[in-house]
Amino acid sequence: VKELFSSLGTECYVLELDQVDDGAKIQEVLLEITNQKTVPNIFVNKVHVGGCDQTFQAYQSGLLQKLLHEDSAYDYDLIVIGGGSGGLSCAKEAAILGKKVMVLDFVVPSPQGTCWGLGGTCVNVGCIPKKLMHQAALLGQALHDSRKFGWEYNQQVKHNWETMTKAIQNHIRSLNFGYGLSLREKAVAYVNSYGEFVEHHKIKATNKNGQETYYTAAQFVIATGERPRYLGIQGDKEYCITSDDLFSLPYCPGKTLVVGASYVALECAGFLAGFGLDVTVMVRSILLRGFDQEMAEKVGSYMEQHGVRFLWKFIPVMVQQLEKGSPGKLKVLAKSTEGTETIEEVYNTVLLAIGRDSCTRKIGLEKIGVKINEKSGKIPVNDVEQTNVPYVYAVGDILEGKPELTPVAVQSGKLLARRLFGASLEKCDYINVPTTVFTPLEYGCCGLSEEKAIEIYKKENLEIYHTLFWPLEWTVAGRENNTCYAKIICNKFDHDRVIGFHILGPNAGEVTQGFAAAMKCGLTKQLLDDTIGIHPTCGEVFTTLEITKSSGLDITQKGCG
């Protein structure tokens, strides 16, 4: 490597680790920041290139020469492709650290023509509108319960889709505006253009009028996120909508078929049913793949008991338009996944929620050799979010093997910027990331599912405590007992450490957040037992858990409902 640099006319600073006193310590730190144990370990203009092999590879591909001729040859220190949760967080942090940053954000319109502003999925077509619509549905339920608490009113309570959607879109607009202001205040250049790599260190930005501009940067972060997947059947793109379209739909969707069993499918089906709409969910196999299946089954069961129809083990094969309209009428033909049975039914709206695909295939990654998982489209990165090309990093939903959640993207984006430009060593901690599914009965969790825990630790090494419970607010309202459920999974060989936390009940997200922090502190069953509960709440059940699954004892609560 020394000869290579010499032949390129470059002077190297060489640190011989076996000739300095703290050589071993330096090697440790190198491992921490670069994930590389061996020497030589080469850095060019602050970019970690790698060992001997990687350096020669970089030389062969022309990348090494580019890195060497850097200094102020680039337009920007950092270009972020994607203005969502991960991209914006990273860009802002880099700007705060004094770097010259650009963010490119561009929304390719959905097949139905839907588009939105700066902020990414969460703000525009994800978490924010979802939670607001979930809240709208919960308020409907609350109105229903209110009569039992003495409220008297004569009006028929009904829901106006347009009023709700307009209010939600106004709020989203203000968030888009806020993000734009925030970037401008921090002097981050924002371009509403589609970014793609054309060669090393250079991207082409195409705006909505087709105008092309080129930009270069020392480092790049790919944060392009995902878009809903289609079925690939006749009529899917022409007539079906997805979450991209639902939250700004200018008319009430009416009788709806939701295809899918993801949290997106169940959350949408849940609030649509909450508005009084006729909702059917078509499931290919199981609900909430990847989540604790006992909890998933309970989530589905509650929805079924509250007016959502489930069609199990069916997939659509054709969607036909019978009538145009707002909404129109669609005929769906579906077939069973086991056998020859077919179903044909008419709906006003078909909502596809079968998964999301990474936006990594049309951004020129192949031009600079960034490897992606060909099957999933996701980008494999090391534990500092670096791709196989040293100056290219990635954050957010497109990462392989990481949770697809806004706070994860925000945190990893921020820490990435601090490591790149702020001399920080801190990596993102992906362990025990809490999350909540906002179905009509909410499900909050942190840590391992029961299946995963058994797989890793073996059943005999685990103790699982559980209980059914009846929220106080549900009693007078006449809502069912023995439906809400709490469960913790403890590792017997580590002081009964809580490695899995699960709650099915109202405000599950609020309850779970605090326990997630406790798990970060090493929560054990003993600590839970030592904690005094707040009464009367749902969360307090975790401080008095007694019955284990292994005991086989009954957890049914006495009391009507």
Partner 1 sequence: SASGSEEFNRPWNTEPVVREGLKHVSEGCVFIYCQVTDKPYWKDPNNDFRKNLKVTAVPTLLKYGTVGIFLCWNECLQANLVEILFSED
Residues with catalytic roles: 535
- Ligand-binding site membership of 267 (annotated): yes
* Cα–Cα dist 281/334, whole Å: 12
Residue at token pair 């050589």: 23
Cβ-based nearer residue to partner 1, 62 or 178? 178
Strand partners, 517: none
- Ligand-binding site membership of 324 (annotated): no
Output the smallest distance, CB 176 to partner 1, in A.
9
Total binding residues for partner 1 by CB under 8 A? 11
Cβ-based nearer residue to partner 1, 208 or 371? 208
Q: Does the footprint of partner 1 cover residue 162 (CB under 8 A)?
A: no
- Ligand-binding site membership of 264 (annotated): yes
**Cis, peptide link before residue 380, omega less than 30° from 0:** no
Mapped onto helix, strand or coil, the DSSP state of residue 185 is helix
CB neighbours of 429 closer than 8 A, spacing ≥ 6? none
- Ligand-binding site membership of 180 (annotated): no
Cβ-based nearer residue to partner 1, 151 or 177? 177
Cβ-based nearer residue to partner 1, 154 or 170? 170
- Ligand-binding site membership of 205 (annotated): no
- Ligand-binding site membership of 530 (annotated): no
* Cα–Cα dist 394/403, whole Å: 14
Cβ-based nearer residue to partner 1, 36 or 192? 192
Output the smallest distance, CB 245 to partner 1, in A.
21
Output the smallest distance, CB 128 to partner 1, in A.
13
- Ligand-binding site membership of 409 (annotated): no
Site string for partner 1, 344-383 (x = CB under 8 A): ----------------------------------------
Other CB atoms within a 10 A radius of the CB of residue 197 amount to 22
CA-wise closest residue to 99 among 81, 80, 119:
80
Residue at token pair 């049309």: 362
Task: Classify residue 149 by burial, with Cβ atoms within 10 Å: 0-12, 13-18, 19+.
Answer: exposed
Site string for partner 1, 116-155 (x = CB under 8 A): ----------------------------------------
CA-wise closest residue to 193 among 81, 88, 84:
81
CA-wise closest residue to 214 among 223, 205, 227:
205
Strand partners, 194: 206
- Ligand-binding site membership of 355 (annotated): yes
* Cα–Cα dist 393/413, whole Å: 10
Cβ-based nearer residue to partner 1, 171 or 255? 171
* Cα–Cα dist 385/86, whole Å: 12
Site string for partner 1, 185-214 (x = CB under 8 A): x-----------------------------
Cβ-based nearer residue to partner 1, 46 or 184? 184
Output the smallest distance, CB 185 to partner 1, in A.
7
Task: Classify residue 69 by burial, with Cβ atoms within 10 Å: 0-12, 13-18, 19+.
Answer: exposed
- Give the amino acid at 311: L
The sheet carrying 497-504 orders its strands as 435-437, 443-447, 497-504, 484-491, 462-469
Output the smallest distance, CB 121 to partner 1, in A.
20
Task: Judge contact between 217 and 201, C-beta under 8 A.
Answer: yes
- Ligand-binding site membership of 270 (annotated): no
Q: What are phi and psi of 533, to 5 degrees?
A: -75, 165
Cβ-based nearer residue to partner 1, 132 or 258? 132
Output the smallest distance, CB 118 to partner 1, in A.
11
Q: Does the footprint of partner 1 cover residue 115 (CB under 8 A)?
A: no
Output the smallest distance, CB 215 to partner 1, in A.
20
- Ligand-binding site membership of 505 (annotated): no
The first and second tokens of residue 256, run together, are 């709806």
Output the smallest distance, CB 17 to partner 1, in A.
49
Using CB under 8 A, which residues numbered 166 to 185 contact partner 1? 170-171, 173-175, 177-178, 180-181, 184-185
Task: Classify residue 62 by burial, with Cβ atoms within 10 Å: 0-12, 13-18, 19+.
Answer: exposed
CB neighbours of 447 closer than 8 A, spacing ≥ 6? 432, 489, 498, 499, 500, 501, 519
Task: Judge contact between 384 and 427, C-beta under 8 A.
Answer: yes
> What residue numbers does the annotated binding site cover?
131, 195, 260-267, 355, 397
Binding site for partner 1 (CB under 8 A): 170-171, 173-175, 177-178, 180-181, 184-185
> What residue numbers does the annotated binding site for FAD cover?
131, 195, 397
